Structure 1
Amino acid sequence: MNPLRWWNESYKKDLFASRIDTTKALAQAIAASPTPPHSWVLVTGVACYKPSQTAQYTEDSDWTPFDLLSRLVKEWEAAGRLPQDTALKTKQVVIRPGAVLGRDGGAMKQMLTPFWLGLGGTLGSGRQPFPWIHVSDLAGIITHALEPSSDTPSPVPQVFNGVAPANNTNYEFTKELGRVLNRPTIFPVPGFVMNALMGHERAIVLTQGQKVAPERTLESGFQYQYPDLSSALKQIVGS
C-alpha cells in the first residue's frame, strides 16, 4: 500500500472497522460466556488527549473527541465496555500507549535508516511532546494489568497511560537517538513538508504531541525496565 494514501476515506473506514468491530465482537463474546475471564485488557492510544505543549494529562484527565484519531479512541473504548453484570466479574483495563519503541517494527524501524545515514532530524518545531514507551514495558504493563486483583471489579474500566515516566520532546528524542547512534541530527523536517508528504491528519501525529504522565501506572506498582530515553534507545540500537 502506498503510504501517501493511508489516510484516504477508504483507509479511514477500515481503520475504524478493524478496531471497533473486532473489539465489540470480543466484548460481546466475553459477555455471553458462562465463564468470563478475570481480566479484559484493551490497548488504544494517547491520541485521545489534545496536543499541547503546556497541558499535562493523567489517567484522570477529562477529554472529548476533537479530531479523527480522538474520535477513534472514544468509539474504540466504548466498544470494549462490558455490560454491568459482566463487569462485576471481569476486571476491565484500558491501556493508552504512546509511540512504541522497538527495533523490529513500528516507528523505530522507519527512523533508524535515515538516522544511520546521518539524515535524522527533528520533525516540525521539535518542541512538541513525544510520549513514548519501550515495547518491553508495554508488554509488561499488559501482563501487570492481566494479573488478578483483590479489588472488586468495577463497571468503569481502569485506565493506565502506557508511556514512560520521562517527559521528552521530539527534539530531545532526536538528539538522544543521534547520540546513541553517533550520528548527526542536522536535517529538520519542516511541518509544511510533513503536511505535503503525508496529509495533515497523518502528519499531526508526528508534528504535535501531548504531555502524558503514567500516574496510575506507577501507583499500581509497575516497575519500568526502560524509564528514560537513554536506556531504551541503547537497548534497541544494541539489540
Structure 2
Amino acid sequence: MRVVVGGGTGFVGRALTQLLRSRGHQVTHVSRQGGKDRITWEELSHSGLPLCDAVVNLAGENVLNPFRRWGDAFCREVISSRVDTTKALAEAIAAAEQPPRAWVLVTGVGFYRPSPTAEYTEDSPGGDFDFFSRLVSSWEAAALIPGSPTRGVVVRSGVVLGRDGGAISQMLLPFRLGLGGPMGSGLQPFPWIHIQDLSGIVCHALEKESVRGILNGVAPSSPGTSNGAFAQELAAALGRPALLPVPAWAVRAVFGAERAVMLLQGQRVLPKRTLESGYCFVFPELPAALRDIVA
C-alpha cells in the first residue's frame, strides 16, 4: 500500500511511519520542507496528490507548547495547522484521477465536553462548547468529501504516551527527580493511549476495508484513569514518589485559562467502536504502558 501522510515528521508520525514500513507499506510525507520520500504542502496544492492507496493527516501545531503565549495569533496558527492542511488533503483527494481507497484524520477527544462522571462513546454529541471542541468540529468538517468513493475514518485521540515525545517527554525530568505529582485536584479524568496503539489504530483503519466513521483513540482502561492515578503510576514506574501536586493557579499561569482546561479537566472516553471494529490493544492497561515507555 502507498500511503501519503500529512505532518508525518513529528512524534506520532515517526511511530506510524515505522509501523507502516514494517508492514510493507510505502510512505510519502507532506511537510514544510521537501526531501527523500517527501513533498511540500505547496507541491501538493500545485501538482496534486501523488498516486497512492491511502492518505493520513497528522498535522497540527502543538497546542500545549509552554513557550508559546496563548493569544489570537497562536490560536490562528493552531487552527490553520489543522483545518487548512486537512482541507488541502481533502481537496487533493477529491481532484485525484485515481482517488485513494482510504482517508484517515487524527483529531482529539476535546470534541467531548469535560465531565468527572459522563462517559462518551463515538456516538456521543459534542463539538460546540469551547475553543477546542469547535476546533475539532471544524477540523473534522474539513475532511468531508461529499460523494467521494474514498472511505473516511476519524480517530479522536486521547493524550498520547510514548518514549520519544508527547506528554511524557515534558514530565519525565520532574518525576525522575521526585518532583512530580497530579495537576490541580488530580480527580479529573485522564484519557490516554500508548503511541503504539494510536499508530496501530490508524494502520488498522487503513488496512481494514470495513472500518469507517469515528473511532475513539483511547485505551480501554482509560475511563477509569484520573490525573492523580496517572501521576502515581508514572512515579511507580520510575521508582519515585509523586508527592508534589501542581496547583491549578500555576497551570493557568503557564498555559493560560483556556488551555489549562485541557489539563485541569478531562473526559471519560470509551473506545467502543474501535474495539467493535476488531482492533486489539497492545497496551490496554496503564502500568504496562508506562513500564514500556520508561524502561
* TM class by smaller structure: over 0.9
Deviates more, 1:188-197 or 1:211-220: 188-197
Name the CA distance, whole Å, in 2 between partners of 1:5 and 1:95. Answer: 26
- Equivalent positions of 1:179-198 (< 5 A) are 179-198=236-255
- Secondary structure of the 2:74 match is helix
How far residue 64 of structure 1 moved from its aligned partner, in angstroms, is: 3.5
Distance (Å, rounded) in 1 between the aligned partners of 2:83 and 2:145: 14
Does residue 91 of structure 2 align to residue 25 of structure 1? Answer: no
The amino acid across from 2:180 in the alignment is G
Q: Is the 8 A contact 2:99 2:150 kept in 1?
A: yes
How many residues are treated as equivalent by the alignment? 230
Q: Which amino acid aligns with 2:134?
A: R
Q: Is 2:256 the partner of 1:199?
A: yes
Do 1:16 and 1:72's aligned partners in 2 also have CA atoms closer than 8 Å? yes
Matched residue type, 1:205: M
Instruction: Please give the per-residue CA displacement for 1:135-194, whole angstroms capped at 9, x wherever unaligned.
Output: 00000000000014158xxxxx61000000012110110111111111010100111221
The equivalent residue for 1:93 is 153
- Using the aligned pairs only, state the percent identity: 55
2:168 aligned with 1:108, yes or no?
yes
Conservation of the 8 A alpha-carbon contact between 2:116 and 2:189: yes
* Aligned twin of 2:219: 164
C-alpha contact 1:38 1:148 (8 A) present in aligned 2: no
- The amino acid that maps onto 1:161 is N
Q: Normalising to structure 2: TM-score of the pair?
A: 0.76
Pick the structure with more strand per residue.
2
Cα deviation, 1:54-113, whole Å, max 9, x if unaligned, reads 1000000012311111111010000000122x1xx2110000000000011011000000
- Using the TM superposition, give the Cα deviation of residue 4 of structure 1 relative to its aligned residue in structure 2, in angstroms: 4.9
Alignment of structure 1 residues 132-171 onto 2, 5 Å: 132-150=192-210, 158-166=213-221, 167=223, 168-171=225-228
- Per-residue Cα deviation, 1:115-142 (whole angstroms, up to 9, x for no partner): 0000000001000000000000000000
- Equivalent residues in 2 for 1:41-120 (5 A)? 41-84=104-147, 86=148, 89-120=149-180
Distance 2:68 2:251 in 1: 14
- Counterpart selection for 1:126 from 162, 176, 186: 186
Distance 1:105 1:50 in 2: 26
Distance in 2 between the 1:5 and 1:235 partners?
30
Deviation of residue 53 (structure 1)? Answer: 0.4
**Deviation beyond 6 Å, 4+ runs, structure 1:** none
**8 Å Cα contact 1:124/1:188 also seen in 2:** yes
- CA RMSD for the aligned pairs? 1.5
CA gap of 1:150–1:214, structure 2 versus 1, over 3 A, is closer
How far apart are the structure 1 equivalents of 2:210 and 2:249? 51
CA contact (8 A) 1:39 1:148 kept: no
Match of 1:154 in 2: none
Show CA shifts across 1:198-234 (max 9, x none).
2111111111100000000000110110001011000
Name whichever of 197-206 and 119-128 sits farther off: 197-206
* Greater RCO, CA 8 A, separation 6+: 1
User: Could you tell me which amino acid in structure 1 is paired with residue 235 of structure 2?
Assistant: G
Q: 2:283 — aligned with what?
A: 226
1:13 aligns to 2:76 (yes or no): yes
How far, CA to CA, are the matches of 2:204 and 2:127 in structure 1? 28
| Letter in structure 2 aligned against 1:142 | V
Unaligned runs of 5+ in 1: 152-156
- Assess if the C-alpha contact under 8 Å between 1:43 and 1:96 holds in 2: yes
Shift, 1:7, TM fit: 1.5
The answer (yes or no) to whether the contact 2:126–2:133 under 8 Å persists in 1 is no
Task: Give yes or no for contact 1:65–1:71 (8 Å, CA) kept in 2.
Answer: yes
The farther-off stretch of 209-218 and 198-207 is 198-207
> How many Å apart are 1:3 and its aligned residue?
2.5
